Structures are given as structure tokens and as C-alpha cells.
Amino acid sequence: MSADGTRRRAAQIAWDVGAWLPAVGLTALLVGLWELLAHTLDVQPWLLPAPSEIAQELGESFSLHMEHGWITLQEVVIGFALAALLGSLLAAAISWSRIVERSLYPIVIASQTIPIITLAPLLLVWVGTEITSKVIVVVLISFFPVVVSLVDGLRSADVDMTNMMRTLGASRVQILLKLRLPAALPYLFSGLKVAAVTAVIGAVVGEWVGGSGGLGWLMKVSAPQFRTERVFAAIFVLSVAAVSLFVIVALTERWALRHHGPRK
């Protein structure tokens, strides 16, 4: 890498770090205020633990949280991958044919009107309490933003370019692969970033309704025991997992769209 390239890379890294400083500063301020008020107002730890007590719980029960966090992470990753695949296939089918769109799209939309909390107990009866039921919950929650975003993206291709490719004899598959899909990539990644967060929510819902492990289960059994600091510690681990998955998708987006043109 040349000296100019190195300087540009260093400047980009500095810019990226600086862009997150306000969020880091605000988070530190809120955590400090929480700690101060918890001690000043003498709030009981079982009611609302101070951040220092949550950190102490994380340190003392680190292996416990990692053990259950690994279970939740498997459910999230598998469910997210399946949601991305299923959502992409559904979006491609919907955008490929008007008949498929009119018959399938309303069903996809209607599926999101059913509260997932009502389906989770049925999944336990149908497929048991193993990882399969949690993965299905993750897929049901996460595939919808992928479908909607990618359908909009596939429809965003330039009409004049589409007509020109048809005039030149391009097939529908060639138009899809060469024009519509590249134009839809920014939309796809927008949906994937939403799905990355909802996947964590889906895993927790599945574990909460019926499970024998995972961070959702850990919170469920800790709350009646008034282990509030353990509940908050599990929430912190879940937040880290969700943010990490979001960042991975965002970095993949940056790499995949590096030749796509400037984006804000």
C-alpha cells in the first residue's frame, strides 16, 4: 500500500472512531448517572442494581453467562442465516411474477400480524424444546424485513436500463443478475441489519416460552429469585451480541458495496 493510501486509510479509521465518540460519551454519562442515583437514592439491588453490581455479577458468573450465551448465539446465527436465505428467495419470487406477488405477498404480510408469543407454545408441541423451535421463532421474526427491503430494492432498478437490456436481447435472468440484483444490494443490507437485531429478540422469546438453556431462559429463572443483577447482566450480553451481529452485517455491506458508488 502506498503512503497516500496508508494516510487515507488512517484518516478513515480516525473518522470512524470519532463518529462513535458522541455515542460512547452519552452512554458513559447515562451509566454514571445511573450509578450515582442508585447510591444516592439508596435503591435496593433487587429492585434496580447499580451498574457496578451488574459488572460484579458479570465477573463472578462469567462462565455461566458465556455458557448460556453460546446457546443463544447458535440459535441467533442459524435462524438469521435461514431468515436471510428464505427472505431472499421469497423476495425474488415476489418480484419475478405478478401472479406470485398477488398470491404470496399478502400471506407474508399477514404472517406478521400473528403475535409470535402465541405461536411459540405451539412450536414446542410440534417440534419439542430443543434448538429447532427457537430457530423457527428467529426465522419467523427476522425474515420479514429482508423480504420487504429486497422486494423494494429489486423494483428500484432503472426503467430505462431495463428496457435497453430487453432491447439488446437480455433474458429475465440476465436482467435480474446484471441489473436488478446489484441495484437491490443496499436495500438487502438494510433489511439484514434490521433482521440482525430482531434475530436476538426472537431467540429470547423462544427461550422464554420454553427452553432449558440460553440467556432468555436464564433471565426467566433469575427474575423470580430476585436476582435482578443477573437479569441485567444477561441483557448486557444480549445487547453486545446484537450490536456485534449488526456491525458484522454493516462491515460486510461496506465490503460488498465498495464499488457501488458513494453512500452516506
Domain of residue 7, residue span: 1-35
Are residue 122 and residue 9 in the same domain, yes or no? no
Residue range 41-95, pLDDT digits in tens: 888 888 889 999 999 999 999 999 999 999 999 999 999 999 999 999 999 888 8
256 contact partners, CB below 8 Å, separation of at least 6:
185, 189
Are residue 113 and residue 205 in the same domain, yes or no? yes
Question: Number of folded domains in the chain?
Answer: 2
Q: Let me know if residue 115 belongs to a domain.
A: yes
Task: Give the three-class secondary structure for 203.
Answer: helix
Q: Let me know if residue 139 belongs to a domain.
A: yes
- Rounded (5°) CA angle 80-84-86: 115
pLDDT for position 264: 47
Q: Which residue from 48, 28, 46, 27 is spatially nearest to 37, judged by alpha carbons? A: 48
Are residue 26 and residue 117 in the same domain, yes or no? no
149 contact partners, CB below 8 Å, separation of at least 6:
91, 187, 188, 190, 191, 192, 194
pLDDT for position 191: 93
Domain with residue 85: its CATH number is 1.10.3720.10
Are residue 66 and residue 14 in the same domain, yes or no? no
Cβ atoms of 161 and 179 within 8 Å: the answer is: yes
Cβ atoms of 165 and 174 within 8 Å: the answer is: yes
Are residue 70 and residue 159 in the same domain, yes or no? yes
Residue range 195-245, pLDDT digits in tens: 999 999 999 988 888 777 889 999 999 988 889 999 999 999 999 999 999
Are residue 31 and residue 66 in the same domain, yes or no? no
Place of cell 470512524: 16
Are residue 11 and residue 113 in the same domain, yes or no? no
The DSSP letter of residue 155 is: T
- What is the percent of the chain where pLDDT is above 70? 91
Task: Give the three-class secondary structure for 137.
Answer: helix
Q: Let me know if residue 137 belongs to a domain.
A: yes
Place of cell 458484522: 248
pLDDT for position 4: 64
Q: Let me know if residue 152 belongs to a domain.
A: yes
- Rounded (5°) CA angle 228-205-48: 15
Are residue 90 and residue 13 in the same domain, yes or no? no
Q: Let me know if residue 172 belongs to a domain.
A: yes
Are residue 151 and residue 67 in the same domain, yes or no? yes
Are residue 217 and residue 158 in the same domain, yes or no? yes
Are residue 242 and residue 175 in the same domain, yes or no? yes
pLDDT for position 129: 73
Are residue 136 and residue 236 in the same domain, yes or no? yes
Confidence (pTM):
0.85
Higher pLDDT, 4 or 191: 191
Grade residue 167 by pLDDT with cuts at 50, 70 and 90.
Answer: confident
